[in-house]
Amino acid sequence: MTTTKSSVVNMNKVEALQTTKAVLNQSVADLSKAHSILHQIHWYMRGQGFLVYHPKMDEYMEELDGYLDELSERLITLGGAPFSTLKEFDEQSKLIEVKGDFSLAMEEHLARVIEVFQYLVSHFQTALDVTDKDGDDVTNDIYVGAKASLEKHIWMLKAELGQAPR
Ligand SMILES: [Fe+2]
């Protein structure tokens, strides 16, 4: 079989998309674990601001779930297979969970949310770089919106804690 110029191009495209698929699956694991962390914060918070922050975590979880589903289905569209078990999420995600603690101050819970969002923003930037290099504009576009939104949440959470956005 002769290797034509177009088959080489196609092979390169397939190989390139492996990187995009890998970063998409990293997002699947990270967003699943981030949801779990936000759920813990939602349950374990106590004190001033509860009536505002408790439902705010619901909003955040709903938003992350939206990205999770969109990115998972994009991965399937590209021929990939998203992680789908708790074991896989735990093993593949770089986020670290800790046991729930009712004694944490509200500020500590919010600082934890900021930390999780900062990790996700950093991961989304990696995803933007990878998808840009791969020329996958569709996946890139999903990450642009997700990153912009989480950066705005970080600004607002930091403002709530009396801190500058960066
Ligand atoms: Fe709830």
Domain of residue 23 covers 17-160
Whether 5 is in a domain gets the answer no
Separation of CA 43 and ligand 1 centre (Å): 7
Whether 1 is in a domain gets the answer no
Whether 36 is in a domain gets the answer yes
Whether 29 is in a domain gets the answer yes
Tell me: pLDDT of 85 over 50: yes
| Cα distances (Å, whole numbers) of residue 41 to 15, 101, 129 | 40, 9, 31
Separation of CA 53 and ligand 1 centre (Å): 11
Whether 11 is in a domain gets the answer no
Separation of CA 5 and ligand 1 centre (Å): 56
Domain count for the chain: 1
Tell me: pLDDT of 4 over 90: no
Tell me: pLDDT of 136 over 60: yes
Whether 9 is in a domain gets the answer no
Separation of CA 40 and ligand 1 centre (Å): 10
pLDDT band at 48 (very low <50, low <70, confident <90, very high): very high
Whether 120 is in a domain gets the answer yes
Separation of CA 57 and ligand 1 centre (Å): 8
| Cα distances (Å, whole numbers) of residue 76 to 44, 69, 144 | 35, 11, 20
pLDDT band at 50 (very low <50, low <70, confident <90, very high): very high
Separation of CA 138 and ligand 1 centre (Å): 33
pLDDT for 15: 65
Whether 4 is in a domain gets the answer no
pLDDT band at 2 (very low <50, low <70, confident <90, very high): very low
CATH number for the domain including 99? 1.20.1260.10
pLDDT for 166: 84
Separation of CA 3 and ligand 1 centre (Å): 58
- Round to whole Å and give the CA distance between 35 and 37: 5
**What does the angle CA 143 – CA 158 – CA 42 come to, to the nearest 5 degrees?**
75
